[in-house]
Structure 1
């Protein structure tokens, strides 16, 4: 087989793999260059690994929700520990959503999408921030305003892709 013919076959194989990947990838809807669909950290269909987003604010605690009190929002299921929490969430979901889609705040400040531990959190200025672990939480708490600003800029850039 000639060198030129070998390159042609290689090109066709690479092209076929690329086309197969494009066909199997879920389409992304874009509106004015920004992603329309939400970007949430979801595991097994659950946001915040099944923890009640309202309990962080009402109890200042990470409380597991119940399957019987679930709500579908932005393509993920949120679980609640009490019907009152579910109702509060439904009245104003954005108030209770974790920042940066539930990914680690410090990770987002570094431009990375790291999963967060829902039991390691902070509420600052009425917003829920999750951390990857206790050690990472201590790092970003050394300069929370600065890291939040970096994370917000990176999040905005990520969402605009």
Structure 2
């Protein structure tokens, strides 16, 4: 048995369609609504999807994933801090390897805290906010700088001076400048 194009006698009334054309139009409206919603989400998302300040550990919430910021300068590598040596600064909880590192940080936190609130510096130089990785870092102009990937670190270091300036220009608008006051 063949049905005419507008024969809707085979459609149950609970579908809410009086004809095949109406069902097709409803389906088209739903797809347009979904596409519009996705487009709006993509436009709005970048304004509030920012890396968290100073790359907190997802479980404990410590800055830099629980690594001691002074250790990057003293030991040349990230070292996990201890809860025995905690300090709150810049809206984050910091942990340190020992009392000496804690005291050094207390005296000059801006010296040891990573630039750009821990955002990835290479992406930031292009105007994008990405979370930096505490294991992928460099000391540039005596400042701790994090990167999203090893490739980003390499590309940044090739032209570090210019990219530091570019990243600094984008830090405010991307949310990668900590509110310290």
TM-score normalised by the chain length of structure 2: 0.63
Deviation, 1:39, is: 4.7
In structure 1, C-alpha distance between the alignment counterparts of 2:56 and 2:114, rounded to whole Å: 12
Q: Say yes or no: does 1:122 pair with 2:138.
A: yes
The separation in 2 between residues aligned to 1:71 and 1:134, in whole angstroms, is 30
Structure 1: gaps (5+ residues)? 1-37
Residues 70-101 of structure 1 show CA distances to partners (whole Å, capped at 9, x for unaligned) of 11112211111111100110111111110000
Q: Distance in 2 between matches of 1:111 and 1:46?
A: 26
Query: Which residue of structure 1 aligns with residue 76 of structure 2?
Result: 60
Which of residues 120, 144, 148 in structure 2 aligns to 1:104?
120
1-side partners of 2:174 and 2:151: how far apart?
A: 25
Alignment of 1:142-153 (within 5 A): 142-153=158-169
Q: Does residue 42 of structure 1 match 2:56?
A: yes
Query: Which has the larger strand fraction?
Result: 1
Q: Aligned to 1:54, what secondary structure does the other structure show?
A: helix
RMSD over aligned Cα atoms:
1.9
Higher-Rg structure is 2
4+ residue stretches of structure 1 with deviation over 6 A?
none
Distance in 2 (alpha carbons) for counterparts of 1:66 and 1:39: 20
Pair 1:76 & 2:92 matched: yes
Gaps of 5+ in 2: 1-51
Give the whole-Å Cα distance in 1 for the aligned partners of 2:158 and 2:102: 34
Q: How far, CA to CA, are the matches of 1:158 and 1:130 in structure 2?
A: 16
